[in-house]
């Protein structure tokens, strides 16, 4: 096998992905020798885009139990309650770790942490940084810590292709560095931290590397996946024609911004008692319906935020101004967009997948904390809590080759793994948006599956981003077809009710 590779290396652990989850795991693992791969430049996934913040029960009147109860409330009955207790119970300690690693969360004049509010949270518990640039600040700090560690080798422009499985155990992976260097990496522990699936959809807040590669790799190797029909659509992305769409953080609605239709009507008050702060799926579907009926949706923060916009929400302010919209003075055009994947590689509380030697953390994992719908700002927290736990689990299992790592060759032709067939991918993204998106039904899902197969036949053989996207699209559409009910992020017009029978998961590779 090794003859086919330009380089063969061994490490104690390989982490695929350099977002909050992958970097947290790598930093905790660092007494061991760790290689971290990312498709583009380091921290090129969703993490640096995160705006609203990270939820944790650090406020004086808050408690992990209250945070857990809010998390369960939106999760539609599919959460794993123990995982939720772990998430909310260990959250404050992981926030303390982030602060120790240099993350400068915003503070009040008295030095206490400034806490924001988002939909589904019954109290203010969202820590943020630079107003609405929380993810960028977390990524900056974690990249600096990882770069400073002599035990962590960060490799950019490295496309992880396939897991290597020997006698039922994951023992490493194959990867391509740049466009031309084929490598075989051997390690007793592989951690997938590849993020979500947003790029499968025509309208998304997720950046280009987020194509579901980890799910495709894990499924090919035989690992168990769960809950993958549950995709979260954010209600308010800026409808200005960008890809990815810029996010209009939910914290704006937390501060009192309201949704208006093109008649200036505040339609959410007729939809849900919590109006704009109703669960994310409810608000997203309401916005979708207004748009499907030929109308437009606007997020109006002129009164709630107004002149404070540049200081409280500098990221959103800058993005709007670049597109010629002054949110201090005018409502922002808004539309739903694919944002987050609740399902993923099934893991236990230590991040272990069903395959020995393989761990999964962050958005690509299904730990059970989100159920059918994720509470806002619980994702960064999940990456920090379960990245940490997976590292402890790997260390406790006595993993480690005891070998030093020779430096991996740098990319000779750097660049993001190219989209091999942009027309096919674009068709796939349109199809997923139209038929496997916010509103689903039997006929649409059946025809989507036929189309996905047709597109799959056009993809050139071999492992590629395109092949991964088609494989993940097929799995999501199939799971959505199987779940004949509506719950959380999964809504079927032909089965609009939630049913007790479906208090059970759809499992891939069961």
Closest approach of Cβ 345 to ligand FAD, in Å? Answer: 11
Smallest separation, CB 484 to ligand FAD (Å): 28
Dist. CA 18–CA 15, nearest whole Å: 8
Distances in whole angstroms, Cα of residue 486 to Cα of each of 197, 372, 503: 20, 10, 11
- Choosing from 52, 209, 368, 489, the residue that interacts with ligand SIN (CB under 6 A) is 52
Question: Known catalytic residue: 125?
Answer: no
| Closer residue to ligand FAD (CB): 44 or 451 | 44
Find the catalytic residue in 33, 224, 226, 280.
280
Smallest gap from Cβ 380 to ligand SIN, in A, equals 7
- Name the H helices within 274-351: 280-292, 309-312, 314-322
Comparing CB distances to ligand FAD, the nearer of 468 and 478 is 468
Rounded to whole angstroms, the Cα distance separating 193 from 469 reads 17
Pick one of ligand SIN, ligand FAD, none as the site partner of residue 137 (Cβ within 5 to 8 A by kind): none
Question: Quick one: which of 98, 211, 100 has its CA closest to 159?
Answer: 211
Strands 158-166 and 169-177: antiparallel
Stretch that binds ligand FAD, among 72-80, 343-351, 374-382, 476-484 (CB under 6 A): 374-382
- CB neighbour list of residue 193: distance below 8 Å, 6 or more residues apart: 15, 16, 17, 18, 19, 21, 22, 25, 214, 360, 361, 362, 364, 383, 387
Task: Report how far residue 57's alpha carbon sits from residue 73's, in angstroms, rounded to the nearest whole number.
Answer: 16
Chosen from ligand FAD, ligand SIN, none, partner binding at 47 (C-beta under 5 to 8 Å by type): ligand FAD
Binding part of the chain for ligand FAD, among 52-60, 100-108, 225-233, 285-293 by CB under 6 A, reads: 52-60
Q: Which residues pair with 115 in a beta bridge?
A: 127
Task: Name which of 137 and 261 has its Cβ closer to ligand FAD.
Answer: 137
Which residue, 249 or 354, has its beta carbon nearer to ligand SIN?
Answer: 249
Task: Give the one entry of ligand FAD, ligand SIN, none that residue 186 binds, where binding means its C-beta sits below a cut-off of 5 to 8 angstroms depending on kind.
Answer: none
For residue 469, the minimal CB distance to ligand SIN (Å) is 22
Which partner, ligand SIN, ligand FAD, none, binds residue 49 by CB below 5 to 8 Å per kind?
ligand FAD
Is residue 387 near ligand SIN by the rule CB under 6 A? no
Strand ranges across the sheet with 358-360: 152-155, 34-37, 13-16, 189-192, 358-360
Q: Residue 44 or residue 227: which is nearer to ligand FAD going by CB?
A: 44
Q: What is the dihedral of CA 65, 68, 73, 79, to 10 degrees?
A: -140
Q: What x/- string results for residues 344 through 383 when contact with ligand SIN is judged by CB under 6 A? A: --------------------------------xx-x----
DSSP-derived secondary structure letter, 78: -
Distance CA 132, CA 152 (A): 29
What contacts 352, CB < 8 A, 6 or more positions away?
358, 359, 390, 393
91 binds, among ligand SIN, ligand FAD, none (CB under 5 to 8 A by kind): none
What is the total count of residues that contact ligand SIN (CB under 6 A)? 10
Query: CA-CA distance, 120 to 284, in Å (whole number)?
Result: 14
Q: Three-state DSSP class for 447?
A: helix
Minimum CB distance to ligand SIN, residue 218 (Å):
23
Q: How far is CA 374 from the centre of its chain?
A: 10
User: Which is closer to ligand SIN, CB of 287 or CB of 379?
Assistant: 379
| Short-list 510, 503, 478, 508, CA closest to 75 | 503
Q: How far is the CB of 404 from ligand SIN (least distance, A)?
A: 39
- Binders of ligand FAD in range 294-353 (CB under 6 A): 340
Give the footprint of ligand FAD on residues 188-227 (CB under 6 A): 193-196, 205-206, 209-210, 213
Which of 18, 186, 203, 249 forms a contact with ligand SIN (CB under 6 A)?
249
Near ligand SIN by CB under 6 A: residue from 18, 24, 47, 51: 51
N-term to C-term CA, the chain: 30
Q: Please answer whether residues 464 and 213 qualify as being in contact, where contact means their C-beta atoms are separated by less than 8 angstroms.
A: no
* 105 close to 4: Cβ distance less than 8 angstroms: no
Binding-site ranges for ligand SIN (CB under 6 A): 51-52, 247, 249-251, 340, 376-377, 379
Q: Residue numbers of the site for ligand FAD (CB under 6 A)?
A: 16-22, 37-40, 44-47, 49-54, 134-135, 158-160, 193-196, 205-206, 209-210, 213, 247, 340, 362-363, 377-380, 383
| Residues assigned a catalytic role | 280
């Amino acid at each position: 096998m090794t003859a086919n590779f330009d380089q063969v290396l061994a490490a104690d652990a390989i982490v695929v992905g350099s977002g909050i989850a992958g970097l947290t795991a790598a930093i905790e693992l660092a007494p061991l020798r760790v290689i971290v791969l990312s498709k583009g430049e380091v921290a090129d996934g969703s993490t640096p885009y995160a705006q609203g913040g990270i939820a944790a029960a650090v406020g004086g009147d808050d408690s992990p139990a209250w945070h857990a109860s809010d998390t369960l409330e939106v999760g539609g009955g599919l959460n794993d309650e123990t995982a939720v207790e772990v998430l909310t119970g260990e959250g404050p300690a992981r926030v303390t770790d982030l602060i120790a690693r240099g993350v400068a969360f915003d503070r009040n004049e008295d030095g206490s942490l400034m806490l924001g509010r988002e939909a589904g949270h019954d109290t203010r518990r969202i820590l943020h940084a630079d107003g609405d640039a929380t993810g960028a600040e977390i990524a900056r700090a974690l990249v600096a810590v990882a770069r400073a560690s002599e035990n962590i080798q960060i490799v950019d422009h490295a496309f992880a292709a396939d897991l290597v499985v020997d006698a039922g155990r994951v023992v490493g992976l194959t990867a391509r560095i740049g466009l031309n260097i084929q490598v075989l990496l051997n390690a007793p522990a592989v951690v997938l931290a590849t993020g979500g699936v947003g790029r499968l959809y025509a309208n998304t807040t997720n950046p280009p590397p987020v194509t579901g590669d980890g799910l495709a790799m894990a499924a090919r190797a035989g690992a168990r996946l769960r809950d993958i029909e549950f995709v979260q659509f954010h209600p308010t992305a800026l409808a200005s024609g960008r890809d990815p769409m810029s996010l209009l953080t939910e914290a704006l609605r937390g501060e009192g911004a309201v949704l208006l239709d093109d008649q200036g009507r505040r339609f959410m008050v007729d939809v849900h008692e919590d109006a704009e702060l109703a669960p994310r799926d409810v608000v997203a579907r309401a916005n979708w319906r207004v748009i499907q009926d030929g109308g437009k949706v606007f997020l109006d923060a002129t009164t709630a935020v107004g002149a404070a916009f540049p200081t409280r929400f500098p990221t959103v302010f800058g993005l709007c101004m670049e597109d010629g919209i002054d949110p201090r003075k005018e409502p922002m055009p808004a539309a739903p967009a694919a944002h987050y994947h609740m399902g993923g590689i099934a893991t236990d509380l230590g991040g272990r997948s069903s395959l020995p030697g393989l761990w999964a953390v962050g958005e690509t994992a299904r730990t059970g904390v989100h159920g059918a719908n994720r509470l806002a700002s619980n994702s960064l927290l999940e990456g920090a809590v379960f990245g940490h736990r997976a590292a402890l689990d790997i260390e406790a299992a006595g993993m480690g080759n005891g070998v030093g790592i020779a430096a991996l060759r740098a990319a000779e032709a750097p660049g993001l793994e190219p989209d091999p067939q942009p027309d096919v991918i674009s068709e796939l993204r349109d199809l997923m948006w139209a038929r496997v998106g916010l509103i689903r039904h039997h006929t649409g899902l059946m025809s989507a599956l036929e189309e996905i197969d047709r597109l799959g036949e056009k993809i050139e053989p071999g492992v590629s981003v395109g092949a991964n996207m088609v494989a993940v699209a097929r799995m999501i559409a199939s799971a959505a077809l199987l779940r004949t009910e509506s719950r959380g992020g999964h809504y079927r017009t032909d089965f609009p009710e939630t049913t007790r029978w479906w208090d059970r998961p759809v499992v891939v590779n069961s």
